[in-house]
Structure formats: C-alpha cells, structure tokens
Chains A and B, each alone.
Chain A
Amino acid sequence: MKKYLLLLLLLVVSSLPLFAQDSSDVVTKDEIMEIKGAMDGMNETVIEMKNTLDALKKIKISGYIQTQYQIADTEATAAYSIGNFSGGSFPSYVNSRFQLRRGRFKINYDNDLTQYVLQVDVTQNGVGIKDAFISVKEPWYKTVSLTAGVFDRPFGFEISYSSSSRETPERSRMYQTLFPGERELGAKIELVSENKKWNWLNVKAGFFNGVLNTANENDSKKDFIGRVGVQIPFQEQNLEIDGGVSIYAGNVRNNSPEFFEMNTSTKKFTRDSSSANIGKYFERNYLGIDVQLYYDAPVIGGLSFRGEFISGKQPGTSSSNNFYNPGATVTPLYKRTFYGYYINYIQNVGLSNQILLKYDVLDPNKNVDGNDIGASGSNLKISDIKYSTLGIGWIYHWDANVKFILYKDFVTNEKVNSIATGSFIPFKNDVHDNVLTLRMQYKF
C-alpha cells in the first residue's frame, strides 16, 4: 500500500511543473485572431484552387488507338482490289499487312450547356480532322441544342456508334459507300428531353454542304439530313427496343454535257448528251430505317440484334457507286437506284468475351442483276455489282482499356455475265477477297 501511495505522490509532484507550464501558455485573443486570419487565408486559397479545379474538370480528354494485322485470301492485283471495306485497299501484290487503323485524340470542353469538341485522327497516312464543332443548348428546358462545324451526319444508327465501341472492325459496306468518313460540314438542331415523359424520343436534323467531310462546298444547294429516333425500354423484361427513321435529301451537280440513266426495261444505261445537261442537279435521296434490340437473356447473358435498311438514289460515276463529290471535274454522272441492309448479332459471354455475327448487303443498282452486268452494250460497270459480306468475330476485353478483336469478313460478289470480257473477267466467279483481322485497341 505504501508503495502505491509513494508512486501516486511521485506522479503528482512530477506533473506539477506541467500544470505550471500550461497556465503560462494560455492562448491570447491576439493569437486566436492570428490563427483565424491564417485559417481564412487558407480557406480563400482552397476556394481559389477549387475554382481552378472545377474549370479543369470541364476539359475532357479521351482517345484510342487501333492497330491491326490483316491477312487476305490472295494478293491484291491491278484487276481487282481487296480490303476496300476492311480498312482500305491492300496494295497490289500484298496479302498481309500491319496497319494503324485509327489514332484518335479528342478534347472536349464541356461547360454543361455549351461544348467545344476537337478530334483528330493520327495514322500512318498522316493527321486528319475528324470532329471540330461547337454545341449550344438552350438553358430553359435543356432540350434543344444547336451544333455547327464538322460532325457525324444525323442518319441511322451505325454512323454515330463510335468506332471504339463498335464490335465489328469496320462499318457495313452500305455505310462506307453512302457516308464515307461519316462526318460533314454543316449545322444541326437536336431535341433530346431530360423530362422522363419525353426522353424516349429524340430528333436531329440539319443542313450540310454534301461534299464529304471537310471538303469545301462547290455548289449552291445544301443537303438535308435528319432522323427521328425512339428508345423504348421494358425494364421488367430486361429488354429495350430502339429505332429510328432517317432521311437524306440532297443533290449532285452534273458538270458534264452527258449523263447516264438506267433503262429499267432494257436493263442498260442509256446515254443522254446535251450541253443543256451541264449544271443540272440530280437527286441524292436516301430513306433509312434502323432497329436495335437489347436483351438480357437468362443464363446466356446480354445480347443485341441490330439492323438497318436504306434505299434511295445515288448519282455516281462509271467507276464508283460511292457518295460522289464532283468538285470541278467533268465526269458524266451515272444515276443508280440502290438498296442495302445489315443485320448484326452480338452475344456477351461472361464479363470479358463477346461473339458476333454480321451480314450485310449492298446492291448499288437494284434494277439489274449479275447476268446483266458485262452483257453486250449494257454500259453497266463493275460498280454495279452487288456484294454481300458475312462477318464472324470474337472480342476479348483484356481490361477496361484494352480489347482484342479477331474478325473474318467472308465477301461474296454477284457473278457477272459469262460472256463478259476485260475488267469483268475476275468477277465471273467469286473473287478471293476475304479478310481476317486481328486488332488490338487501347482506349482511355
């Protein structure tokens, strides 16, 4: 007991100087004010830093690189090309290649109701502008926005579905033919309501130069492009059906005294030659419908079916059925009526794998079939041949940034008339132009 008393006494004695020290160190009012001043200063600094940080948060940087190795069934030759719709034509005498397919870098300054977007594409072919636009949304209902510059044409589904998210390495032949580069210079209005009553509906429409991507305008007419889209979720059934109807109404100027028009009864192109034909405008009209179905299937997981059908009039040239920009060139126009479609099935397997099937068709001249092409005096060209492509692929998502795609295109061309000669000869049979793609993508 004595020991404990002694210990307690020692503790009390030893703590006395501490108490004395505490009482001598009483914080004065001035010191409190000094600390408060320092705190206020720090608070101001924090607020300033927060403002800077908030401004920086508005800058969003993203990008992706797609690099790939491709093998074609045979070497490309001067007689026919391979891979036009699988990332670009293989050079002659080449059946395999490494390619930097896309190298995108995008800066988006998002100020909530206004946006600045600039995207460039850096590949082995150089640097090109992909997007450069301004977007302004009205502040009252936050529903209507105006976008101007170079941006995706508001048509269908596949254009606006980013190449970094798309499961197939390339868009369908139909889209690459009708909308090469996907973008165009123009202005559009978009209506997307944040109100739950109306957010199932979206409308976008605008006027564009109609001359391809960033090319300069070369006529006085503007092309109209628009889409009305719906999104109908059935949340209880884990199902959503989206879709839309799109229209393209434009014109192509004929700079030549002659043009060719399809005679649907004789199945031949007939030539019309007159100086009065110079400066005539021919319709470039497309009408499209697109549907996407998403379903979370029991046991097997998420899947989607997507499909689009487009039909219309496409003025081209003798050698090309592509979207044509005549510029100042004096080339006779060939007026064709086309149709095309694709259907796409994607099946998620587990967390990291996806399997896909795609079938697409483009008939650039629906008034003729293979047997008419190459027939004597038909004036029909290789660019009138119908193509179908079956694609089969597997995607492996390595992590949130990296994915691998293994994909094979089985391309089938319509067989031309057996008496055909010259450049038609390779197309008497199916050209060996299937392409296997192994792609690696990094996205951030």
Chain B
Amino acid sequence: MKQIILFTITAILAFGFMESNEIITVKGSDTMVILAQRWAEEYMRKHPETTIQITGGGSGTGISALINGTTDICNSSRPMKQSEKEKLKQRYNTLGVEIKTAKDGLAVYVHESNPVKELSLEQIKNIYTGKITNWKQLGGNDAKIILYSRENNSGTYVYFKDNVLDGDDFAPNAQNMPGTAAVVNAIAKDKNGIGYGGAAYAKGIKFLKIKKDANSIAYEPTTENVKSGDYPISRYLYLYTRSRPTGALKEFIDWILSIEGQAIVTKVGYFPVR
C-alpha cells in the first residue's frame, strides 16, 4: 500500500506543474474573431510577457479543439451541447467553465435596395426552410429569394437553426458561407439575397426589423433593443475553458470581464455583459 501511495504522490509531483500558460491559444467562433483579436492586441500591448494566438474556424471547431487539448480557450457563439460536455467529462473529468463575455443581436440582412423592411420569426423560418421562395410573398419585388447561410460548424448556424428554425433543416439551396463577413459581402452584391449573422459585421447592407409574431412590434438590433430583450434574436457570446482558469489564463479572462475588456466589446459592436 505504501508503494501505491508513493507512486501516486510522485506522479502528481512529476506531472502536475509541468505546463505553463505564457502562450494562450484561443480558437472558435468566427463571429467573435474580430472581438477576440481586439482583446488580444490590447492585452498583449499591456502584458508583453503574454502571447495570445487567435484563430477562427467556428464554435464547433473551437469546442473540438478544447476537447482535444489543442486550445486553451474556446470562443463560442452558442452554449456547449450536452454531447460536447460528455466528451469533456470523459477526457478531463470536468464540466468545462462557461464565461459569458458579451451579448449579440443576431441580425438578418438584405440588400440596401430591398423594399422589405421587417419580418416575423415565422416568416424567416419559412424563408430558410424553403416554404417562402419569392420576395413578392413578403411584399417585395417579384424575385427569387437567394439564401445565404453558414457552415454547420458555426455557432451562428446552430443558434439560428435551433432558435429561429426550431430545429428544422435549412432549404437545400441555402449557400453556406465560410464566415459572417462572407455573408455580408455576398448580400452587398446580391439585391435578392438574405443572410444572418452578428450585428457587428453589418456594414454596406440593411438590417431587417424583426418581430416575434405577426402581431408584435418589429425591432432593430440596436443596443437598447438587444439589452432590453425586445429584439427577439439575441444571444450570449461565450468563452470556454476545460477547467478553472489559473495563472496567465485567469488574468486574461478577468481582464476581458473588466471595464477595459468590456469597453472593447462595445467598440467592436457587441453589447457588454458588465
């Protein structure tokens, strides 16, 4: 028995404190890439001893990287799924630490020249599931609706599917774009296009006002409307770590939640949580 105890203690001492976190890797949500880059730039300017590496790829990709141990922090624009938590539990015996860092209104964009100004959640669902296919059905021009969506590893895609389409499948003709910026660029060039994504990216195109149902008031994704909860498609933007953050990792996350870090949230176009 003594041998067993000795073995355990030696192993803990030998391997427990081998890793240091002076380089912090951050991977995940494309929606959050710009925000994460701004955080990293500012933080590294003030803490030159810390290097922060940011990559996108989508929330799903980031969560996989967190589970595989190839990133320290995962950016995610959706909460972790139960199946992902199970994998984390199996590998690390932890539930993952979820940190809400910002709030985002998920905007629905159309071309500037599109006469349609507002849609209900049901109309958006019918558009993206292929039940409504012409702008004329929505009071617009007689033109086919061109659907722009995101790839299925995107947190924005998952959030939109779960909360707007109620879990139904996207119409097969929806074009999957590699990032929110690509959706915005495509719609800026396509007068019959419709897309969705973070409000921070919405430049050169028009936001649609969104209403919960046909009888509700339609709201734009403004700071006030998102904060008050009147705008019906809003979500949190998260950071995830495998276990309780310590050392440089904790300092960086604490800074993100500080007044300074939250000011960057506002600058980038999202809404602070503190």
- The number of residues on chain A lying at the interface, defined by a beta carbon within 8 Å of a beta carbon of chain B, is 41
Assess the A347–B12 pair: CB atoms within 8 A.
yes
Complex interface: stretch among B94-102, B180-188, B195-203, B218-226 = B94-102
Assess the A298–B244 pair: CB atoms within 8 A.
yes
Residues of A within 8 A of B16 (CB): 300, 349-350
Assess the B94–A238 pair: CB atoms within 8 A.
yes
Complex interface: stretch among A28-36, A45-53, A128-136, A320-328 = A45-53
Task: Among A294, A298, A392, A397, point to the contact of B93 (Cβ < 8 A).
Answer: A294
Residues of B within 8 A of A343 (CB): none
Task: Among B12, B19, B89, B97, point to the contact of A351 (Cβ < 8 A).
Answer: B19
A-B pairs with beta carbons under 8 A, tally: 90
Task: Among B8, B70, B176, point to the contact of A357 (Cβ < 8 A).
Answer: B8
Complex interface: stretch among B103-111, B131-139, B167-175, B251-259 = B167-175
Q: Chain B, 145-182, contact with A by CB distance < 8 Å: what is the 0/1 string?
A: 00000001000000000000001010011011000000
Residues of B within 8 A of A238 (CB): 94-95, 97, 243-244
A383 proximal to B (CB < 8 A):
no
A199 proximal to B (CB < 8 A):
yes
Task: Among A296, A392, A400, point to the contact of B244 (Cβ < 8 A).
Answer: A296
Docked complex Cα distance between A165 and B91 (Å): 7
**Known contacts A296-B94, A400-B70; is-contact A350 B15 (Cβ 8 Å):** yes
A301 proximal to B (CB < 8 A):
yes
| B169 to chain A: closest residue by CB | A112
**Known contacts A240-B95, A294-B95, A301-B243; is-contact A353 B89 (Cβ 8 Å):** no
Assess the B8–A304 pair: CB atoms within 8 A.
no
Residues of A within 8 A of B89 (CB): 240, 294, 304
**Known contacts A50-B172, A349-B16; is-contact A233 B95 (Cβ 8 Å):** yes
Residues of A within 8 A of B4 (CB): 357, 390, 392
Assess the A349–B15 pair: CB atoms within 8 A.
yes
Most buried by A among B89, B172, B175, B242: B89
Docked complex Cα distance between A218 and B172 (Å): 49
Docked complex Cα distance between A397 and B7 (Å): 19
Residues of B within 8 A of A390 (CB): 4
Residues of B within 8 A of A50 (CB): 172, 175-176
**Known contacts A294-B94, A300-B16, A302-B92; is-contact A349 B11 (Cβ 8 Å):** yes
Assess the A355–B94 pair: CB atoms within 8 A.
no
- The number of residues on chain B lying at the interface, defined by a beta carbon within 8 Å of a beta carbon of chain A, is 34
Assess the A392–B7 pair: CB atoms within 8 A.
yes
**Known contacts A46-B175, A47-B173, A50-B172; is-contact A349 B90 (Cβ 8 Å):** no
Docked complex Cα distance between A292 and B96 (Å): 17
Docked complex Cα distance between A161 and B91 (Å): 12
B140 proximal to A (CB < 8 A):
no
Docked complex Cα distance between A84 and B181 (Å): 59
Docked complex Cα distance between A374 and B168 (Å): 67
Residues of B within 8 A of A47 (CB): 172-173, 175
Q: Chain A, 283-309, contact with B by CB distance < 8 Å: what is the 0/1 string?
A: 000000000001110111111100000
Residues of A within 8 A of B92 (CB): 301-302, 348
B residues engaging A (CB < 8 A)?
4, 7-8, 11-12, 15-19, 68-70, 82, 89-95, 97-98, 152, 167, 169, 172-173, 175-176, 242-244, 246
- 7 tightest A-B CB contacts, nearest first: A302-B93, A400-B68, A302-B94, A304-B93, A296-B94, A353-B15, A302-B92
A residues engaging B (CB < 8 A)?
46-47, 50-51, 54, 57, 112, 142, 161, 165, 199, 233, 235, 238-240, 294-296, 298-304, 346-353, 355, 357, 390, 392, 394, 397, 400
Q: List 15 A-B contacts (CB under 8 A).
A: A47-B175, A240-B95, A296-B244, A299-B246, A301-B92, A301-B243, A347-B93, A348-B93, A350-B19, A357-B4, A357-B8, A392-B4, A392-B7, A397-B69, A397-B91
Q: A296-B97, A350-B19, A355-B8 are known contacts; what are 8 more A-B pairs with Cβ within 8 Å?
A: A47-B172, A239-B95, A296-B243, A302-B242, A348-B92, A355-B11, A390-B4, A400-B69
